[in-house]
Amino acid sequence: MRIFVINCEGSEDRWKHYSDNKYERWLGTHYKELPDGDLRFKKMVSFHNINPNEHKAKVGCLVSHTNLWRYLITNKMNNILVLEDDAVTVKDIPENLPLDGVTYLGGLIWSQKTMDGPKKMSFSEGIYLVDDFKILMTMSYYIPSWEIAKELLDYVESQKRYRAIDIMMTKSPTTFYMSYPASFEERGDLSLIRGTKNKRSNKYYEWV
């Protein structure tokens, strides 16, 4: 398994948490690197009262993930774990993860209707199909093959309007699984999108 950690230029303080040689740095895209006239800023959907920089940061996050997927596709790479640079290991990654879809290894269990908020659910340890709920956040997920990465990328690029990348993933036709409890939870660093983290995800996919 190759492990890519998305980390932006200027955020080397976050990268220091991944000094082990098993991690590979994927240079993320900070919204400040994008020209003001980038059409993706116009295509991104946000609430009308969102901070303009938060809106732009959602675009930077989307570009960071889709650029990585494109790299996996171009190089026909399989067996890939994607982490954002605020993911903290709390449990070993399970063996024999599903090969027919994306497996989340951390995040938030959420209602199918985003506005309904977090969904309380109880699970035993194992791998579960994500069906009557969804997982938010792109902090940690496993892509078994470049073909699955292509499914994700094709869906995103086919859309006339963008949402946050975690929302777009949930709307794609790709099959999703969840490993429970999570192997990664969220560190309390400042978020480029959310700013100060008043809450963060834990190993039970809860918002605490």
pLDDT (tens digit per residue) in 97-112 = 999 999 999 999 999 8
Query: Per the domain annotation, does 191 fall within a domain?
Result: no
Query: Per the domain annotation, does 203 fall within a domain?
Result: no
Query: Per the domain annotation, does 161 fall within a domain?
Result: yes
Domain span including residue 82? 2-186
Query: Per the domain annotation, does 201 fall within a domain?
Result: no
Q: What pLDDT digit, counting tens, does each position of 54-77 carry?
A: 899 999 999 999 999 999 999 999
Query: Per the domain annotation, does 51 fall within a domain?
Result: yes
How far is it, in rounded angstroms, from Cα 42 to Cα 188?
Answer: 30
> Is residue 200 very low, low, confident or very high in pLDDT (cuts 50, 70, 90)?
confident
Q: What is the mean pLDDT of residues 88-99?
A: 96
pLDDT at 198 over 70: no
Identify the weakest region by mean pLDDT among 63-67, 119-123, 157-161. 119-123
3-state per-residue secondary structure call for 14-49: HHHHHCCCCEEEEEECCHHHCCCCCHHHHHECCCCC
Q: Alpha carbon of 194 to those of 25, 30, 35, 51, 186: distances in Å?
A: 22, 14, 22, 10, 13
Q: In this structure, is the dihedral angle defined by the CA atoms of residues 185, 167, 154 and 51, taken in order, positive or negative?
A: negative
The domain total for the chain is 1
> Is residue 195 very low, low, confident or very high in pLDDT (cuts 50, 70, 90)?
low
pTM here?
Answer: 0.94
How many beta carbons lie within 10 A of that of residue 122, not counting itself? Answer: 6
Query: Per the domain annotation, does 8 fall within a domain?
Result: yes
Query: Per the domain annotation, does 47 fall within a domain?
Result: yes
Query: Per the domain annotation, does 104 fall within a domain?
Result: yes
Structure tokens at 155: 């869906």
Q: Alpha carbon of 129 to those of 3, 102, 170: distances in Å?
A: 23, 10, 13
The CATH number assigned to the domain holding 144 equals 3.90.550
